[in-house]
């Protein structure tokens, strides 16, 4: 056995290679490109809703999807920052944007109870289920990118990271599918377009932590 400490240290570090620094802007660029690709793929494969194709945007379409986009960006940014933990770093701003999004289903319920909007004859149709399924499916690529990013980093709270990944992916998925979905009722958008986010958050909280824990 060698007794020279310099020899032992050299042997330990001989196979080490410098790691490429992770930067927040790189993570944002990756998730942004994924989101754009998902939106374009949805439009090309499923088609663009007629009013948007004609340049006539319904107010609810702009309002709701603006909120979904803000949530997607806010939660993705928080997840990306969790891969680069720093002392004193705070990533709590995403809670505010998610809370603001919660106003959408509340408004939908108020409109139904006050009969400002009529209760649909059939509460759950195949299209509602399609929105949920497509919202989750279209967000999978976003989830894969964020999980890959977190595996390269060192998230100190894998459970919170999983929650953020699920929220961001559900928001990206339903934002993309909204360019195809033709329904603009508060009942449909305010309730059913929220389901992919809720399910995404639950699945992310359960599935992601074992994948990113170090």
Quote the CA–CA distance of 17 and 30 in Å, as a whole number.
Answer: 24
What is the residue-level pLDDT of the chain in tens, covering all 214 positions?
555 555 555 555 555 555 555 688 888 899 999 999 999 999 999 999 999 999 888 888 999 999 999 999 999 999 998 887 664 455 677 888 888 888 888 988 888 888 877 777 777 888 899 999 999 999 999 999 999 999 988 788 899 999 999 999 999 999 999 999 998 888 899 999 999 999 999 999 999 999 987 7
Placement of tokens 């989101």 in the chain: 35
| Burial (CB count within 10 angstroms: exposed 0-12, middle 13-18, buried 19+), residue 190 | buried
pLDDT score recorded for residue 184: 85
Residues 14-53: pLDDT tens digits? 555 555 556 888 888 999 999 999 999 999 999 999 999 9
pLDDT score recorded for residue 88: 47
CB neighbours (10 Å) of residue 174? 30
Whole-number Cα distances in Å, 213 to 68, 83, 152, 187, 209: 28, 11, 11, 39, 6
In the chain, where the domains are located: 24-84+91-212
> DSSP labels for the chain?
----HHHHHHHHHTT--PPPPP-HHHHHHHHHHHHHHHHHHHHHHH---HHHHTT---HHHHHHHHHHHHHHHHHHHHHHHHTS--TT----HHHHHHHHHTHHHHHHHHHHHTTSSPPPSSSS-HHHHHHHHHHHHHTHHHHHHHHHHHHHS--S-HHHHHHHHHHHHHHHHHHHHTTT-----HHIIIIITTHHHHHHHHHHHHHHHHHH--
Quote the CA–CA distance of 156 and 152 in Å, as a whole number.
Answer: 13
């Amino acid at each position: 056995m060698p007794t020279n400490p310099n020899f032992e240290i050299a042997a330990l570090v001989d196979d080490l290679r410098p790691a490429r620094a992770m930067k927040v802007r790189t993570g944002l660029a990756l998730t942004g490109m994924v989101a754009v690709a998902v939106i374009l793929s949805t439009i090309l494969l499923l088609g663009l809703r007629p009013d948007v194709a004609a340049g006539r945007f319904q107010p609810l379409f702009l309002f709701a999807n603006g909120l979904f986009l803000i949530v997607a960006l806010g939660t993705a940014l928080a997840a990306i920052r969790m891969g680069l933990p720093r002392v004193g770093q705070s990533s709590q701003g995403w809670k505010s944007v998610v809370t603001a999004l919660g106003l959408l289903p509340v408004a939908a319920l108020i409109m139904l109870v006050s009969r400002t909007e009529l209760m649909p004859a059939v509460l759950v149709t195949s299209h509602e289920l399609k929105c949920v399924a497509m919202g989750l499916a279209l967000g999978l690529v976003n989830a894969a990118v964020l999980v890959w990013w977190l595996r390269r980093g060192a998230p100190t709270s894998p459970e919170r990271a999983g929650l953020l990944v699920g929220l961001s992916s559900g928001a990206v998925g339903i934002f993309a599918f909204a360019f195809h979905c033709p329904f603009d009722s508060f009942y449909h958008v305010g309730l059913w377009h929220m389901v992919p986010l809720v399910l995404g958050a639950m699945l992310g909280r359960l599935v992601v932590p074992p994948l990113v824990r170090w």
